[in-house]
Amino acid sequence: MARKYFIAGNWKMNKTAAEATALIDAIKAKIGTQTKVDVAVCPTFTALDAASKALKGSTIKLGAQNVYVKPSGAYTGEISADMLKEFCCEYVILGHSERREYFKECNCFVNEKVKVVLANGMKPILCVGEKLEEREAGKTIDVVSQQVLKGLEGVSKDDAKNVVVAYEPVWAIGTGKTATPEMAQEVHAQIRKNLAELFGAETAEDMQILYGGSMKPENAKDLLAQKDIDGGLIGGAALKADSFVALVEIAQNA
């Protein structure tokens, strides 16, 4: 099975419900029915309802940016998988470096979340990536391999088909600095090896591995040309219809 490119927008803590609707309408007008590339937008929780309604009739999928591991109960401020499903979320971003850094999420907690998302019929986008000091200390491959192997521990081969991995070097997120295509490819190839260790080579070949970290229309073509880069998890450039649409169009022609 040839892998499809996947362009996913991580809106982070941006866009009210009304702004989400306006952005989706603008994106839909340009690429709302294309099927060549998988496309998803991941707004904040409070915009999911509006986004879900705005996406109706389009091929663009909805994702959330987090989930809690319990189904319900006394967990003030948290959101369950069922609550995401109510809005037809297909994807959930997990283990983003901002969650690892500011909210102290560890590989083990991220792994629990991955399994909850899969058990609920949704697709985790598992984010992994090294910090600058880890890269400089020559630890990139070690750190990323651990994040992949621990993050996906206990996931079945069948469920692995619904897992997306996003390699996001922390030093490249929101900084304007991007990994060179060769640097990114080296890590993506390692991630595919890790996936093959876990699920076998055939399953690993079918899994999408996205690059994230200041990806924009100016650098996307060269990144997407790499053998193991299957798309992008896009932060800043996903907040404007023009740049997000341009990225989808680049993926369509990659």
Applying the rule CB under 6 A, the residues between 59 and 98 that interact with ligand PEP are none
Q: Can residue 151 be called a binding residue for ligand PEP (CB under 6 A)? A: no
Q: Can residue 181 be called a binding residue for ligand PEP (CB under 6 A)? A: no
Q: Yes or no: say if 44 and 11 are a contact pair by the CB < 8 Å rule.
A: yes
| 81 CB-side CA count, 13 A | 20
Q: Interface with ligand PEP by CB under 6 A: which range of 61-69, 83-91, 187-195, 210-218?
A: 210-218
Q: Can residue 154 be called a binding residue for ligand PEP (CB under 6 A)? A: no
How many residues lie near ligand PEP (CB under 6 A)?
13
Shortest reach from residue 82's CB to ligand PEP, in Å: 25
Instruction: Confirm whether 96 is a catalytic residue.
Output: yes
Beta-carbon contacts of residue 167 (< 8 Å; ≥ 6 apart) = 128, 129, 144, 184, 187, 188, 191, 209, 210, 211, 212
Catalytic choice (98, 105, 130, 168): 168
Strand partners, 167: 128, 211
- Report the residue number, 181 or 213, with the smaller CB distance to ligand PEP: 213
Q: Interhelix angle for 17-31 vs 48-55, to 10°?
A: 20
Q: Interface with ligand PEP by CB under 6 A: which range of 41-49, 66-74, 181-189, 232-240?
A: 232-240
Q: Can residue 220 be called a binding residue for ligand PEP (CB under 6 A)? A: no
Instruction: Confirm whether 98 is a catalytic residue.
Output: no
CA pseudo-torsion sign 78, 234, 251, 143: negative
Shortest reach from residue 213's CB to ligand PEP, in Å: 5
> According to CB under 6 A, which one of 64, 210, 233, 254 is a site residue for ligand PEP?
233
Q: Can residue 236 be called a binding residue for ligand PEP (CB under 6 A)? A: yes
What's the CA gap between 40 and 83, in Å, rounded? Answer: 18
End-to-end alpha carbon distance in the chain: 17
Element (H, E) at 29: helix 17-31
Q: Which residues bind ligand PEP (CB under 6 A)?
A: 10, 168, 173-174, 212-215, 233-237
Residues forming the active site? 96, 168
